[in-house]
Structure 1
Amino acid sequence: MCESTTGGLGTVLTVLVLVCAAGAYLFAARRARRRNPSRGWNRWRVVCWTAGLALLAVALLPPLAPAAHTDFRGHMAQHMLIGMYAPLALVLAAPVTLLLRVLSPARVRRVSAVLHSPPVRVPAHPAVALALSTGTLGALYFTPLYDTAVGHPVGHWLMDVHFLVSGCLFAYVIAGPDPAPVRPGVPARLVYLGLAIAAKIPDPWFPPRAGTADPCHLHISPLPHGRFGRGQPVQSPSWRHPHCGRSSGTGRRGGRPPGS
């Protein structure tokens, strides 16, 4: 998650947490099968949980974890694994349903009461989940907050936790098989999903983020989430950032790539 977790004790702790999460889920799945052999527990759910943890391992362990601190492209690869792909796999594993299957009736009632309480109902609304998972990206990447987060180990750790929790929340609201206190119909959920996709479409005409180097001297490479890989040498003199004025290769204002 942060520089201290890319080697030594941090790597060991990360592996330990992932192994414990896998073991706890497998233990619960086995218990669910024993308590009700006729219903059992879908092996596809187990595969989803294992795949989600494997994606987190790729994101949080070397070699990707160290690269996320030195290369913005590495950071974005880590971001997509933690905030998009791993949450979807984990949510499809239906961990809440599994928990309800293995608990006693009294504890099931307590968990159900928590799931329908206001502190859970509010963030479980699709609009709130969308704002937490996608709306916060603007505040992170277009303000000095990103530099502050990656400059401090605790800040980077909290940023990764935010990506994972908000990603799981949005996947749970939109496509989760677990019971939810607030879940609109499919058409409404498709609208929220479309808004999330539109917010992450790459747009090479975003202005440079405050505090970054002069984009006129950087290679701008659109990434799937709507940001750019900065810090790479210019590879083509015919394309300059649109805020840099005239492009030497095209002779036009805006610096669009040839053929666009």
Structure 2
Amino acid sequence: MTSPHAHAGPDALPALLLALPAAGYLLTAARRRAAGRPWSRRREAAFLTGCALLALALGNALPFGEGDFRGHMLQHLLIGMLAPLALVLAAPLTLVLGALPPRRGRRLGRLLRSRTARLLAHPVTALLLTLGGLAALYCTPLYGLAAATPWIHHLVHAHFLLSGYLFAWAIAGPDPAPHRPSVPARLVVLGVAVAGHAALSQLMYAGVLVSLDVPAAQRRGGAELMYYGGDIAELLLALALLVTWRPRRPAPARAPLGGSAAG
């Protein structure tokens, strides 16, 4: 997929655009600390890392030539998997909720508890959006359309980012989510995602059931990036989930009333 950024201007443009949310995040965190409410520096670093990964993906610094399918796949890994995970770990929703006036915070809280939010925030929904988007892109003529049409190209990137963020939030996000399933259930969904990515990358490597008008060497290289890079991203997501897991301890058994029976 030829990147429109190769013709749109200097590499600094994506970085300048992403500097705005980064500055807003840092300013909000600083105001929170000034009010005597702590905020983790690690979360700040996570948000800056996510913005930096997006700037790298959207600029012209990737190690592949214009139109190289391997460059597109590296973009997908950065925009759709690694950057969203970093942004999710920054807990931006928690930061925003703490900065809003109480009335607006309650409105946002009600929105997060709505049926629509509950459906979108479910890990299975997020899984369908991510895997379904990949299948639609690579197994239909959509990839060719996106390569030839800039607005479709940008729409694909937006889908990568939003669906990737939604999936990372549904699986391991520290931000509040409505009726989040148990950790074992989320691990099962993550396992299905790993299997789905692996199956699609193997089909892509073999050139079976995919609609990609690219050189075979680039197709195979992109499939390898998807296979191994996706494994790394999903392993990081699993680690992010496990470090926040606090298994419930069973309640201690109560002694029978009246003490033990005499034998």
> Which one of the candidate residues 50, 53, 78 is aligned to 1:52?
50
Shift of 1:16: 2.8
Q: Residues of 1 paired with 2:120 and 2:132: CA distance?
A: 14
Structure 1 distance, partners of 2:27, 2:219, is: 49
Between 1 and 2, higher relative CO (CA 8 Å, sep ≥ 6) is seen in 2
1:209 is aligned with what amino acid? V
- Tell me the CA shift for residue 59 of structure 1: 0.2
Alpha-carbon offset, residue 164 of structure 1: 0.3
Counterpart in the other structure of 1:223: 224
Which residue number corresponds to residue 21 of structure 1? 21
Q: 1:168 aligns with which of 142, 165, 168?
A: 165
Name the structure 2 match of 1:146.
Answer: 143
* Residue in 2 that maps onto 1:121: 118
Report the secondary structure of 1:200's partner residue: helix
Which 5+ residue runs of structure 2 have no aligned equivalent?
229-263
SS at match of 1:182: coil
Residue in structure 2 matched with residue 207 of structure 1 by the alignment: 208
Is contact 2:12–2:59 with CA below 8 Å preserved after alignment? Answer: no
Q: Tell me which amino acid in the other structure corresponds to 1:49.
A: F
Bigger fraction of residues in helix: 2
Write the distance in 1 (CA, Å) between the matches of 2:219 and 2:185: 39
CA RMSD of aligned residues (A): 2.6
Alpha-carbon deviation of 1:82? 0.3
Q: Residue 64 of structure 1 aligns to a residue in which SS?
A: coil
DSSP 3-state at the match of 1:62: coil
Identify unmatched segments of 5+ residues in structure 1. Answer: 228-260
The runs of 4+ residues in structure 1 deviating greater than 4 Å are 7-13
TM-score (norm 1): 0.78
**Structure 1 219/175 Cα, relative in aligned 2: closer, same or farther at 3 Å?**
closer
Superposed counterparts of 1:75-114, under 5 Å? 75-114=72-111
CA contact (8 A) 2:126 2:170 kept: yes
Q: Does the 8 Å CA contact 1:114/1:120 hold for their aligned counterparts?
A: yes
What amino acid is aligned across from residue 173 of structure 2 in structure 1? G
Which secondary structure does the structure 2 equivalent of 1:47 belong to? helix
Mapped to 2, the partners of 1:136 and 1:6 lie a distance apart of: 24
Q: CA deviation at 1:79?
A: 0.5
Deviation at 1:175, TM superposition (A): 0.4
Helix, strand or coil: the match of 2:34?
A: helix
Q: Distance in 1 between matches of 2:215 and 2:72?
A: 20
Query: What whole-Å deviation, never above 9, does each CA across 1:78-107 have from its counterpart, x for those lacking one?
Result: 110000000000000000000011111111
Q: Distance in 1 between matches of 2:215 and 2:57?
A: 29
CA distance in 1 between partners of 2:145 and 2:171 (Å):
31
Aligned amino acid, residue 20 of structure 1: L
Q: How many residue pairs get matched?
A: 223
The separation in 1 between residues aligned to 2:119 and 2:227, in whole angstroms, is 27
Percent identity (aligned): 46
Tell me, yes or no, if the aligned pair for 1:149 and 1:159 is still in contact at 8 Å: yes
Change (3 A) 1:49 1:18: same
Q: For 2:96 and 2:34, how far apart are their aligned partners in 1? A: 14
Q: Which amino acid aligns with 2:5?
A: T
Contact preservation (8 Å) 1:59, 1:65 = no
